[in-house]
Structure 1
């Protein structure tokens, strides 16, 4: 089992934007790591306090194969000067890949959270 991390930012606190961002982020993580929905043990989302229009997991649930994947939403810690409008995710995935082979995905302004991963 491996953890795969990611994050993405949204422009506005709107339901469709939050759902779309969650779908885009998960799709990229799955593609880059060659993971299928059936390989996922659980997905944990967190969102910043300014994203209140929708649960990111509702957007994820719309992806093919995600009807049986356990999904969980939580609130990101409110830290002074932290990034706003940000959705973070942790996938727990059953894979034979080594830790060094996992590709974590940071998109939009969230790339600033992990500048060491920009080349991936």
Structure 2
């Protein structure tokens, strides 16, 4: 089995616990669905959040989805002038037979602006850039 990395990001409207949990759950499910992954395929997950998000750890959303046997880690995103605010990023490491060129990265809401290169490649989806 090959190990692949899947990226995703979502921009929140506000730093509120409920919005954080709902947004991260939506993004996480989209990432798994877009790549045909199940929880048993997951090796580890890294979450980052911009400095303006501090209502709850993004990993709590994954635990609420039942992810109890996968290592999860949260970190703070670099604070770069002009960076998009209120963004949670996810990096999933998974066992997957898909070639790299078939991995779908998911960028929802305002976070689609982070990967305009993917939109130009014809990878825009209804939920955001993939």
Measured after TM superposition, the shift of residue 99 of structure 1 is: 0.3
Give the 3-state SS of the residue equivalent to 2:62 in structure 1.
Answer: helix
**d(CA) in 1 for partners of 2:71, 2:39:** 10
Return the offset for 1:117.
2.2
C-alpha distance after superposition, 1:14-34 (max 9, x if no partner): 111111111000000010100
Between Structure 1 and Structure 2, how many residues are aligned?
Answer: 119
Map of 1:20-35 to 2, 5 A cutoff? 20-35=22-37
Whether 2:21 is the aligned partner of 1:19: answer: yes
For the aligned residue pairs, the C-alpha RMSD in angstroms reads 0.9
**Unaligned runs of at least 5 residues, structure 2:** 125-129
Residue by residue over 1:32-79, the C-alpha shift from the partner in whole angstroms, topping out at 9 and shown as x without a partner, is 100011111100000000001100000111114x11111110000000
Name the residue aligned to 2:77: 76
Match of 2:94 in 1: 93
Distance 1:53 1:22 in 2: 13
Which residue number corresponds to residue 46 of structure 2? Answer: 44
Query: Is the partner of 2:34 in helix, strand or coil?
Result: helix
- Name 2:127's counterpart in structure 1: none
* Length-normalised TM-score, structure 1: 0.96
Match of 1:107 in 2: 108
